[in-house]
Amino acid sequence: MRKKIVFMLLFFFAVVGSYANEVRKVKLDNEHTEKTESFGFCNVSVTKKYSDENGNTLVEVEIDNIDEENIIVLFGHDYSERELKKLPLSISLDSSIPGTKGERSIQVSKDVPGMQVINPNEKKKLKIIEIKDGEERSCRLPFYIARYNNKRKTKIRLIEVVEEELIVEVESRDEDYIRLESECDSLIGEISKQTFCNHPRHRISLENQEAPYKTRIDKIKAEIKKIQPQKGFSTDRGYQRYDDLKQKLDAIDFTAYEGDCGNPRNHKSVPSRSRHSCKYCNSSLQQIYHYLDDYYKKIYNRKTTKESVMADVNLLYKCCTDSNCSKHASLWNSSDYKSKIIDRYNRISNF
């Protein structure tokens, strides 16, 4: 995200001769931190010095007086015409300066410290203003051009006023935020294209499918936690934008992207059931009942022991109850011998 700060610098130039009124616009950013505009009698260089962690941007203006004779003067305090004459560097106003003689006053800028005098072929830097991110502020900087009135250079005469307007746009970039926002958007885009297969036989579990993306989410959140305290107070927009990123990550709903991938190759094959086969498979349920009944009678009449026949009893019972028995599985539940077989099996088992 780009943060734009726009403020206006209004320059009023007093010059000998005629200069056209015009509007100039310059744009400063991280790659272009300095721009210079020429106004004929002087060059104005605007430099973006830095943006601090609280979102304040310091912009500095350098005035290069390229005139061979004229002086450029800026005032940071208001003076009447009479007060100007009493200054150590006595200043008088030419008749071309508007107003009633003796009652005129100069225009000031609250962003200029004291009175600044820029001699011919001299450069002077001025700290303009610190601006909070997102604010727009207009700065009036009245520039006067004058000439010395005596050889000792103790008197100055302001001559003529020409108005120039310079609009400076400062574009501050939080590189950390731009990077994390890009990572966040890229991750959300990737997740939105995924189908996290919730088929019970999918080779990779749902948890393991989502794990790499959740790890990346945790990594971005950890970076936000580390960087965010450097971006000012919780009420600052620069700080709050990182909260917006966290909310975007928290809003990711993995369940919205769950479903069957529809690819059988990604699913584990179902184990094949082994078909039941034993020596009683060809016997009918009626015959199995009679085998069990014969065993029960022999045990009851002490002609054999339960232990000696129990293995065969279990085999008989399993053959008719095993769902994998091709002959008995489909007949078992509807057969009249079902209850009889169960009865004989239980009697033998409990003898």
| Distance between CA atoms of residues 54 and 52, nearest Å | 5
| Distance between CA atoms of residues 44 and 118, nearest Å | 12
DSSP 3-state assignment of 105? strand
**Short-list 228, 170, 180, CA closest to 50:** 170
Inter-CA distances, 336 with 208, 214, 237, 349, Å: 52, 60, 82, 21
| Distance between CA atoms of residues 322 and 249, nearest Å | 53
76: which DSSP letter?
A: S
Whether the Cβ atoms of residue 155 and residue 148 lie closer than 8 Å to each other: yes
pLDDT category at 90 given cuts 50, 70, 90 is very high
What mean pLDDT do residues 192-202 have?
91
DSSP 3-state assignment of 112? coil
Q: What is the pLDDT of residues 175-196, one digit of tens each?
A: 888 899 999 999 999 999 999 9
Inter-CA distances, 250 with 57, 95, 299, 318, 339, Å: 32, 70, 72, 56, 60
pTM over 0.85: no
Whether the Cβ atoms of residue 40 and residue 33 lie closer than 8 Å to each other: no
| Distance between CA atoms of residues 58 and 338, nearest Å | 95
> For the chain, how many helices (H) and strands (E)?
7, 15
More confident residue, 215 or 30: 215
Inter-CA distances, 159 with 38, 48, 152, Å: 21, 32, 19
Q: What is the pLDDT of residues 255-267, one digit of tens each?
A: 999 998 888 888 8
Strand-pair partners of 17: none
Residue 186: what pLDDT?
95
What mean pLDDT do residues 153-162 have?
85
Residue 5: what pLDDT?
53
Q: Which contiguous run of DSSP H or E holds residue 310?
A: helix 306-321
pLDDT category at 16 given cuts 50, 70, 90 is very low
Residue 52: what pLDDT?
64
| Distance between CA atoms of residues 158 and 143, nearest Å | 10
**Taking the domains of the chain in order of start, what are their residue ranges?**
2-173, 175-266, 285-349
Instruction: Please determine, for residue 14, whether its predicted confidence score (pLDDT) is greater than 50.
Output: no
